Chains A and B, each alone.
Chain A
Amino acid sequence: MIAKVLLTIWMTVIIVAAFLYADAAVGFPGETSRILFFHVPQAWVATLSFLLSMIASCVYLARRNLKADYLALSAAELGLLFCLLATASGSIFAKAAWGSFWNWDPRQTSIVILLMIYGAYFALRSAVGDPEKRRVFAAVYSILAFVTVPFLVFVVPRITASLHPEDTMNPAKPGMDPKTLKVFLGSLLAYTGLFIWILRLRLRLLNLEGMQEPEFVVTEKMDLEGEKQ
């Protein structure tokens, strides 16, 4: 409980610091670079949750315990949410810094492709009726999609960058003077904390739903009883 209160305070500190304490990075019009204290952690959490969902999927395929699937599902849901946030904040920044909401800069392409993978993941989950098959297929797909991510990270920037000669400086890391770095890392920590907080809430909800299923012979393999959180 205390952790959540601390996290709330910490995030507030970060928000204030992002606007007052840190100063705007050079090379960007006016104060626009400040959004990066929020945009980059969002993208970071989206990728982190995709990785977590993939690992949970591997665990599910290996041991077929329901908890792993719940984790894979909630991580994917949160990943999609943060991916949308990152795309939105990214295009706001693009509008302010380069004048156009969308110009397929390598960072934007990778985020959109991640968005499409999540979209496909949930399309697959909703298209398979049998619960057992749905969980296996979703797990297999998230592993397959994860395997293509390294190609995206290395292939897309190298190729799309050269496709757009007027590609300007990569906005990922603004000029990292110590003050900005402190706030940036703090924000990264805050967002990761927020991610874990919401994830746990979502997991507890899924467990509650899981318990609603009718009383039937429950095997030790499928332990639906939530062990003490």
Chain B
Amino acid sequence: MKEGLNFVLGVNLIIWSGLAFYLFILDRKIKKLEETSTARRK
């Protein structure tokens, strides 16, 4: 029973790290967009 859990845990961790990584990339992309747009606006 236990090793079944480890497998599910592993899958969850992979999904979560992928999601977190994606969110960080999004964060940087939006920050860049914000800088270019505020620069253009000045």
Contacts and interface: CB of A to CB of B under 8 A. Distances in A.
Do chains A and B make direct contact within the complex (CB under 8 angstroms)? yes
B30 A201 contact: yes
25 contacts: A4-B23, A4-B27, A8-B20, A12-B13, A12-B16, A12-B17, A15-B12, A15-B13, A15-B16, A16-B13, A19-B8, A19-B9, A20-B5, A31-B5, A201-B23, A201-B30, A204-B34, A205-B30, A208-B30, A208-B33, A208-B34, A208-B37, A211-B37, A211-B41, A225-B41
Contacts of A205: 30
Interface string A187-220: 0000000000110010011001001000000000
Interface residues of A, number: 19
Contact of A204 (B5, B13, B20, B30): B30
Interface of B: 1, 4-6, 8-9, 12-13, 16-17, 20, 23-24, 26-27, 30, 33-34, 37, 41
Interface of B is mostly: helix
Given A204-B34, A208-B37, A11 B26 contact: no
Nearest to B12: A15
A132 B25 CA distance: 33
